[in-house]
A and B are shown apart, each in its own frame.
Chain A
């Protein structure tokens, strides 16, 4: 059993429990369920390294990561969940405006990130704080963005969870889901034209595969073979739309076939399967060009804090997926290797929560962006109209003027 250690974490669980009682398991929209296919992964063409118990039963070889790297990966997955728990509470208590939960989606982005080198570029989707943290971005910077403070790279201009930092080669997400898939493809193409060896990774959800940009980017990638990996996180639900209403294709991976793009379907709750597929795709990129990876996973939480999944899916559906929780599986895998135990777990959670406490307090104490900064960076150089507006605003704010 995984015990819940911290008060904030307990609050989250209590919240979920209350929710379940309220709805008595009715998906009001009667939308088709996203039935967990992971127990029959082979039948669904889903490649695995490990089963639900962390045993090496899958058809993908264990990538044999060093012990230190395995532990670093697991610790980051736990930190991501702890951040999500806190983000939820911060939003529900009115301290941040908006939150996009990550729960259940910790494996894909963390494992894919360590499969790439630090000078490779990653285009983020929602729910991917682990990528930045693995690239060395301090936790306080993330919370500074969530609070819209001055001392973060985006100067209070970007929604919480539209994360990124160009200094870490992590391109922040654009709100129009999927519209950045061609950006990743174009940047990879630019690297190829320039003759440098940078590789590119783009995360997006299965809902984005319905957007024209997904098809444009894959089509172009098939023709021009830029060194890019398209990582489609199939988490079952695009807000309220289940995969069965998103596409009539059997898988999202097979869409790559139409464009001549190599593709693979992996268990997205198996971090080692994600790592193995992503690392292989990265390594093959200079020779084979793009790969489309479909990582089958599940959004256990809400789509955003403005959403209520009780209206469209049942607790029974969620419960099956909870048995395949990536944190549980990775922990069991580590325990099987004698790399982890209860004491480690308790210490890790305590450390994560303490780090988050420090980051939250430090970020919340930071100043808000100065009014004059609002006009910066509209153009590379300020125009006369912007200067005029800036002066006007400052004059209006000046007491006694």
Chain B
């Protein structure tokens, strides 16, 4: 019986990849453990080994093909005695496993939706969030020689998530520096370098690993300006993926937005789109205060149109209305903006027009934009991946109550991660996280539309 070789998922977040090279040709004998081909993902190039024995009957996806979805058949292995016709039969048959659809960014707001704030109208370029972050750093490093990048694997390996691709080549090892594995240690070194007049970008492989750096971020980076009476501060950026990725469990799936949003002396931004990523990171690097840029691993591979202008930045402390609507306000940040926009489409089909606000900054919070929206829609749903207690939604609800209580026609509703450490099992993980359906349900609830 001929065996299909499927495009493997080489990481929990991989949805597609490139067949870089075939190491075996059609007709070659295969034994278990032989390297069949090399696959390039957005993180690394990896070898795919054969599990089964036989003969490589047919290569279904040629070397050099990009964007091959996970689980698509890429080759057929024939067992002893089978001839090539078995391979043809199998490759002609309907795919036994459906190709996973690439994660697409939700559609941008319809052109008909009025944009309430001036939009960037210059040239744009399609790129992934990963590339947008890289370009932001590269542009700022070109503009200011005091800016440098440090972290685990940022130089030689070009970043655990390939965000720093090409930076070592362009800027050299004086400005792109691999550090030993000690988040609190190198966060402290970065604080010292900021004291010493440089502008460090400290990359954490993930903020989940940076909990031990909290002391450096809070007690040293955030408080030094105040405690020194303004004599010295720590102008610097801490950045890296935050929150849940996919199937990485409780200690690797946590949102720190409300943790750091709590601290005076820190600014906290949470990009969703490529435009956010580039504009907010550039603004963070230019800011004279310590800024945390909470990115999202799943968003790294998503593509957006991104302003192609080295002067473009996104102001810290300013939210963006991603979709205008009159019936309910939905605030979201990072990956949940996509869910909120998806929910808004569903709601629109049912006659409810949702206004989706991309917070962009957690601290300072743009309460004016939220309040103006609530004064129009009279209803509010907050969305976050983190836990609800003492969360971002709590702060927004409180501030809205303080400034727009009389405009509310329904209690504020929070959509958040379930109040449990993140489970590993795929079904439980999906249930623990916010999604478009949960947002739709919450929006209908505050509209009394059920």
A contact residues vs B (CB 8 Å cutoff): 121, 152-155, 157-158, 164-167, 171-172, 174-176, 179-191, 193-194, 212-213, 215-217, 219-220, 223, 376-381, 383-385
**Which listed residue, B148, B220, B235, B264, touches A174 by the CB 8 Å rule?**
B220
Supply 8 A–B pairs (Cβ within 8 Å), ascending by A.
Answer: A179-B216, A189-B193, A193-B193, A215-B182, A216-B186, A217-B188, A378-B265, A379-B289
- Taking CB atoms and an 8 Å cut-off, the chain B residues in 263-303 that contact chain A are 264-265, 267, 288-289
Taking the nearest CB of chain B, how far is it from the CB of A336, in angstroms?
42
Tell me, yes or no, whether B219 is within 8 Å of chain A by CB.
yes
Given contacts A174-B220, A216-B184, contact A153 B229 (CB under 8 A): yes
Query: Beyond A153-B228, A158-B227, A179-B215, is A187–B182 a contact (Cβ under 8 Å)?
Result: no
Q: Which residues of A contact B191 (CB under 8 A)?
A: 182-183, 186
Give every chain A residue within 8 A of B186 (Cβ-Cβ): 182, 216, 220
Enumerate chain B residues within 8 angstroms of A179, measured Cβ to Cβ.
188, 215-216, 219-220
The stretch among B91-99, B128-136, B194-202 that forms the contact with chain A is B194-202
Q: Out of B146, B196, B219, B228, which one reaches A186, CB within 8 Å?
A: B196
For window 290-344 of B, CB contacts with A under 8 Å fall at: 317
CB contacts (< 8 Å) of A172 on chain B: these are 227-228
Which residues of B are found within 8 Å of A220, using beta-carbon distances? 179-180, 185-186, 189
| B46 contacts the other chain (CB 8 A) | no
Assembly CA distance A171 to B228 (angstroms): 9
Further contacts, 5 of them, CB under 8 A, given A155-B229, A379-B267, A383-B317: A153-B228, A182-B189, A186-B196, A190-B192, A212-B184
Please give the residue numbers on chain B whose beta carbons come within 8 Å of chain A beta carbons, in ascending order: 146, 148, 174-175, 179-180, 182, 184-198, 212, 215-216, 219-220, 224-233, 235, 264-265, 267, 288-289, 317, 364
Per the bound structure, the CA–CA distance linking A219 and B216 in Å amounts to 18
- Select one of B180, B225, B227, B264 contacting A216, CB under 8 A: B180
In the complex, the answer to whether B229 meets A180 with C-beta atoms within 8 Å is no
A193 CA / B172 CA spacing, docked (Å): 12
| B317 cross-chain contacts in A, Cβ below 8 A | 383
Across-interface contacts of A164 in B (CB, < 8 A): 228
Flag if B289 contacts A186 (CB, 8 Å). no
Partner of A213, one of B174, B184, B225, B229: B184
State which of A153, A182, A212 has its C-beta within 8 Å of the C-beta of B231: A153
Nearest B residue to A202 by beta-carbon distance?
B192
Taking a contact as CB atoms under 8 Å apart, the answer to whether A193 and B148 are in contact is yes
Pick from B188, B198, B212, B235: contact of A190, CB below 8 A: B198
Q: Are A167 and B192 in contact (CB under 8 A)?
A: no
Q: Which of B186, B190, B230 has the most CB of A within 10 A?
A: B230
